[in-house]
Structure 1
Amino acid sequence: MNPTVTVRPVALVTGAAGVLGRAICERLCRDGMHLVLADLNLAAAQAVADNLDRADGQGALALQVDMGDNASIAALVEQAGGHYGRIDVVVNNAAVNHRGSLADFDPALWDHMMAVNLRGPAVLCQQVLPYWKAQMSGRVINMVSRCWVAGGPPAYVACKAGLVGLTRSLARELAPYNVTANAVAPGMLPSAFTQDGRDEAAFERMAEGAVRVTPLGRLTTPQDVANTTAFLASGDSAFVTAEVIHVCGGSQLAPFGNL
């Protein structure tokens, strides 16, 4: 954001009801931002909003969005912008993962992942663009994954690698409006998202493997990612754009197969 702007900035976070989204919202709230908590599960997003430790006059608006539906994204931006009058930070955190190898993958599930994980963030930024042009400031922070360099399940990796490419393209196109675009690439962190479809033993094996290939010797925490997101959302990162910041203790150096 422009450091001369004194109004309270507005951050829109998708996937706000999940473990990672909640940590990001809590941190940005502590930094004094108004929050728009967007999620497919409106009740869960509202619960996160209700539990934020807000300062006097600080807002937290929970809204439903289907990031695979263009009309839903447009409605989200209309409601958020209408409520606050501005949108400064967009955190594209929402994602889906239908696991499968190339041999057994369902093309319909591939399309759904591409719609939510890649097209959705682009459409959201397109919808917010008029605000950034008017404000001459803004931030885009896209959640990717260490797997974009390490490889892994083809559809998910393709989405995240595509999101890195989108980030770099946005950095170029949005620069004239003083908008930066960066990506955050977390390592493995325990959550419903990473545990889905795995029993306890399988998840524990995967977690142990992740720790083994991580030079700093532990899993990523939601707070690790939230802290990096807060930096990229702040004025301290004003001259940082088109970057991918790996928040994974160095595990981006290891191939996915080692897990």
Structure 2
Amino acid sequence: MSDEQPTTPRVAVVTGGSRGIGRETAERLARDGFAVVVNFAGNQAEADKTVAAITEAGGRALAFRADVADETEVAALFDAAEATYGGVDVVVHAAGVMTLAPLADFDLDALDRMHRTNIRGTFVVDQQAVRRLREGGAVINFSSSVLALAIPGYSAYAASKGAVEAMTLILAREVRGRDITVNAVAPGPTATALFLDGKDEETIARMAAQPPLERLGTPNDIAGVVSFLAGPAGRWVNGQVLRANGGIA
């Protein structure tokens, strides 16, 4: 038996990989030995910082701009991954947007924009993923623990994430026989710009006190869950939504 390590790395595509949970996930998967394609929507500078952090630590990464809801741009994203690294093994779809307001007051244009990214974006990325993934691959979508909490103001966002969960559970069954797992991670309140923006200190403190662990989650907490699902230890977890929220009911 040879002790030589394979020359072709496992490859991960991480959407929304320039900031927050996506960036932490990209860096964690790079430490796990993946070559990482960091997708971003518009902030080239932040994406380049993610790539620089990975390469300075000895990993392999490249940044690629694509609108996750545009099927042509997402196809080009996967083309770049295959051309540069030889294929794709794991897709982490962390890109998403969140707009909050009571249902009665919600701006319908904002609803359409959010659903375009969160619902259509998930559909488009997952569609390319299952067409491209090599055997033994994994798709990891992002939902939210807010679905089970029924918090006023979150109706539109929760609806979009409910759609993500439905797609995830069905897709896991549609890829039967291909040795591909499909799961979703549903973070609770996590200290990212997406969560913190627009909230006062009292609101943040109240939400941090909700879990029995009495703190907000961190991007590193969530990246660890993704790492588990992307790695060999997570291969028997399939068609599930993992609620990584510190114990919020």
TM-score, normalised relative to structure 1: 0.87
What is residue 178 of structure 1 aligned with on the other side? 179
2:138–2:181 Cα contact (<8 Å) kept = yes
Q: List gaps (5 residues or longer) in structure 1.
A: 254-259
Q: List gaps (5 residues or longer) in structure 2.
A: none
Supply the distance in 2 between the matched residues of 1:54 and 1:11 (Cα, whole angstroms): 18
**CA offsets per residue over residues 74-131 of structure 1, 9 Å max, x none?**
2212222222220111101011112221111122211111111121122112123232
**CA offsets per residue over residues 163-206 of structure 1, 9 Å max, x none?**
111110111012321110111111112221112234xxx1x212
Supply the distance in 2 between the matched residues of 1:239 and 1:88 (Cα, whole angstroms): 16
**Equivalent of 2:209 in 208, 212, 227:** 212
Supply the distance in 1 between the matched residues of 2:146 and 2:127 (Cα, whole angstroms): 26
Structure 1's 86 and 54: CA in aligned 2 closer, same or farther, altered over 3 A?
Answer: farther
What is residue 243 of structure 1 aligned with on the other side? 240
Supply the distance in 2 between the matched residues of 1:112 and 1:81 (Cα, whole angstroms): 30
**CA offsets per residue over residues 133-191 of structure 1, 9 Å max, x none?**
xx322101111111121123111101111111111011101232111011111111222
Supply the distance in 2 between the matched residues of 1:151 and 1:73 (Cα, whole angstroms): 33
Supply the distance in 1 between the matched residues of 2:56 and 2:245 (Cα, whole angstroms): 29
Tell me, yes or no, if structure 1 residue 128 matches structure 2 residue 129.
yes
Q: How does 1:63-142 map to 2 (within 5 A)?
A: 63-132=64-133, 135-142=134-141
**Equivalent of 2:218 in 204, 208, 221:** 221
Q: Residue 246 of structure 1 aligns to which amino acid in structure 2?
A: R
Structure 1's 248 and 74: CA in aligned 2 closer, same or farther, altered over 3 A?
Answer: same
What is residue 257 of structure 1 aligned with on the other side? none
Supply the distance in 2 between the matched residues of 1:107 and 1:169 (Cα, whole angstroms): 28
Q: Residue 44 of structure 2 aligns to which amino acid in structure 1?
A: L
Tell me, yes or no, if structure 1 residue 13 matches structure 2 residue 14.
yes
Q: Once structures 1 and 2 are overlaid, which stretch shifts more, 185-194 or 159-168?
A: 185-194
Tell me the matched-pair count.
Answer: 241
TM-score, normalised relative to structure 2: 0.91
2:192–2:218 Cα contact (<8 Å) kept = no
Q: Note the aligned Cα RMSD (angstroms).
A: 1.7
